Amino acid sequence: MTAELVWDHPTSDVPETGLSATRAAAPDELEAVACALGLISCPSLEVSYVIAPSGAGRYALSGTLRAQVVQACVVTLDPVTSAIEESFQAAFWPEEDIAPPRGGVLDLDETADPEPIVGGQIAVGRIVFERLAESLDPYPRKPGATLDLREAAPAGGAGGRPESPFAVLANIKTKR
């Protein structure tokens, strides 16, 4: 569970025809999301989703998140604003129906493992938070920002060549 977005729905509130909802994060939730994800700020986060029963106490969640985030440029540290729109989906099953994790080789083509229904609650907020985190640019860059690399002047080695790192060790005298 994530403390940033506690958007849980009791399974008892989901009718046979499914439940549709739209939600916008409150200012304190936006601040918590920004802090948890290392953002400068998160001005907006809205989601629309559907929770549908899929039989045997299982549920399917699908929806779309829209967010505006402000990250620090990796070159200049100036603010970089991004708009994110991502769809998400997850299956929620009763905890007792979920097989224990298996070790071995990870199959990337495999479908995602189902999420547990804990205490009769479908944790929509956790799924939204995780999808937003996955969608962030890991290296945000302000348009036109460049890294100015300058060559270091060669150290005072013989003939203008850089001095060996071991040459410094040769100058160290042992204490007796």
SS3 158: helix
Q: List all residues 6 or more positions away from 72 whose beta carbon is below 8 Å from its beta carbon.
A: 40, 78, 79, 80, 140
Give the residue-averaged pLDDT of 63-67.
97
d(CA 59, CA 22): 18
- What was the pLDDT predicted at 22? 97
Q: What is the mean pLDDT of residues 36-61?
A: 96
Percent share of the chain, pLDDT over 70:
80
pLDDT digits (tens, 9 = 90+) for 100-157: 777 766 666 667 789 999 999 999 999 999 999 999 999 998 888 777 766 655 555 5
Dist CA 70 CA 32 (whole Å): 14
Query: DSSP secondary structure string, 1-26?
Result: --SS---EEEGGG--TT-EEEEEE--
How many CB atoms lie under 10 A from the CB of residue 24?
11
In terms of DSSP bridges, do strands 115-117 and 19-24 run parallel, antiparallel, or are they unpaired? Answer: unpaired
**Sign of the CA dihedral with 25 first, then 29, 35, and 37 last:** negative
What's the whole-number mean pLDDT along residues 56-75?
Answer: 95
pLDDT (mean) for 43-65: 96
Query: Which stretches within the chain are classed as H helix?
Result: 27-37, 124-135, 165-170
- pLDDT for 1: 43
pTM of the model as a whole: 0.77
The two three-digit tokens of residue 67, written as one number: 């967010």
Query: Does the pLDDT value for residue 32 go beyond 80?
Result: yes
Least confident of 5-19, 76-90, 133-147: 133-147
Give Cα 168 distance to the centre of its chain.
45
Segment 31-38 shows an average pLDDT of 96
pLDDT of residue 50: 97
Q: Mean of the per-residue pLDDT values for the chain?
A: 86
Q: How many CA atoms lie within 13 A of 132 on its CB side?
A: 30
Q: Which helix (H) or strand (E) holds 79?
A: strand 79-94
